[in-house]
Amino acid sequence: MQTYYLAVDIGASSGRHILGRLQDGKMVLEEIYRFENGMVHRDGKKLWDVEHLFAEIVNGMKQCKEQNKIPVSMAIDTWALDYVLLDEKDEVLGDTYGYRDSRTAGMEKELFRVIPEKELYYRTGIQKQTFNTIYQLMTVKKRTPELLEKAKTFLMLPDYFQFRLTGNKVSDYTNGTSTQLVHPVTKQWDDELLDMLGYPKEIFLPLSMPGTVVGTLTQEIQEKVGYDLTVVLCASHDTASAVMAVPVPKGRGLYISSGTWSLMGTEVEEAICTEESRLANFTNEGGYEYRFRYLKNIMGLWLIQSVRHELKDAYSFAELCDMAEQYEDFPSRIDVNDDVFLAPDSMIRAIQDYCKRTEQKVPEEIGELCAVIYHSLAKCYGKTAQEIEENTHQEYDCIYIIGGGSNAAYLNQLTADASGKKVYAGPAEATAIGNLIAQMMKQGEMKSLEEARKCVAESFELQEFEPKRRI
């Protein structure tokens, strides 16, 4: 009998149910269900339809029964930052906002009246992003304070979905750190900071490590899906799961978890909360076994995804890469982390306006736009690699690109050229793999994270890219 594990991996544009198992010492994946996701635009707000997402989680679980492949456990991961507030009846209070909603505009001023920006970084280690949960909650406090007054529980989205499955409320550490409300030394909510900000600390549950058992399915869910299993915490921040799946480095390596966002960094044992790190906008997000993911959030493939959507998805990403290569010498570059690219009405126009404003040649052709994006991303990766080496006082001889963006061979080559380092690309399903690793380790099929990463390296093919020229 095969032992199956179910990873429910929900991204900002789609979700997938992936069954994993070990066979002859290698991990085998099977996608059994996929569904669409996206922020819902309602009354000028960007929201998540949590009822739709939960219904799709259950629909995917039903597929296991239909295929007679019943998992022993499951875990859910999603993007970070977004949350629900529950009332005394465990009903969701208000709307469930997406992080790209503009409601947090100006909230950093309100926050920094309470705690200076420098002090906030030193006590959390998390980079300033105005859509972080800490700013979202300040928006609630200032505009709809009655929601905080009625709230009995705060849950990040994966924790909420797992509560809906089991009836048990458990909060994951890795996703909790993304809120900018967790202390990097105690590894728990910073009660003093919560008091300073006026956020009711009693609504925040103790933070638990991946591998913690949430519970079994409620009777209602069992009847819907046709079986029972154990729900286990994975590293529910999708990047934390993805980093668990970084293959064993041949030497000392950096990683880029490449998708809608590019998360570029390394693992460290203690948070690096120096002024140099703050000024370079690095973050110390929580990882498995209380390791820190010292990384920078980079706008990532959101740029090319947005351009593709504006073109009515008429071209594949491979075709867009080919077009970019035809305009390899197009000179203009953008700061991919500029806020103008966060949620523009038109990404094409935003790129053109940026080039015009900075007195660079304005891209008009599709290939020119793509060349600007890919070269600008690679340039940012190269600069970030240099900053990590300076801030950690270590040298790294390679970069591991994991996640869906690992399939972008053209960008991988540009990254090798821009950084001067060898690039290993793959696996593409790193987040789901990391999700499964947490479950397999809980079950005892893997003894350590090092053993799990060795298994990943032996189970999935990696592409290699050597630097060809410095750009």
Which residues are catalytically annotated?
238
Measured between alpha carbons, how far is residue 290 from residues 226, 244, 271, 302 in Å?
36, 12, 10, 29
Where helices occur in 226-285 by DSSP H, the ranges are 238-244, 275-279
DSSP string, 209-232: -TT-EEEEPPHHHHHHHS---EEE
Q: What are the tokens at 120?
A: 């906030």
Q: What CA–CA distance (Å, rounded) separates 388 from 124?
A: 19
- Number of CB atoms found within 10 A of residue 35's CB: 16
Compute the Cα dihedral for 421, 427, 432, 436 and give only its sign.
negative
User: Is 4 in contact with 20 (CB distance < 8 Å)?
Assistant: yes
- Number of CB atoms found within 10 A of residue 88's CB: 9
User: Is 221 in contact with 165 (CB distance < 8 Å)?
Assistant: yes
* The amino acid at 76: I
User: Is 375 in contact with 471 (CB distance < 8 Å)?
Assistant: yes
Nearest to 140 by CA among 221, 85, 195, 86: 85
Q: Are strands 71-77 and 230-232 parallel, antiparallel or unpaired?
A: parallel
Q: What CA–CA distance (Å, rounded) separates 454 from 393?
A: 26
Nearest to 106 by CA among 126, 136, 83, 80: 136
User: Is 334 in contact with 325 (CB distance < 8 Å)?
Assistant: no
Distant-in-sequence, close-in-space partners of 105: CB < 8 Å, separation ≥ 6? 130
Where is 257: in which H helix or E strand? strand 253-258
Where is 432: in which H helix or E strand? helix 430-443
Measured between alpha carbons, how far is residue 6 from residues 26, 39, 162, 208, 362 in Å?
16, 25, 13, 20, 47
Distant-in-sequence, close-in-space partners of 68: CB < 8 Å, separation ≥ 6? none
Strands (E), 24-87: 26-36, 40-42, 45-47, 71-77, 83-86
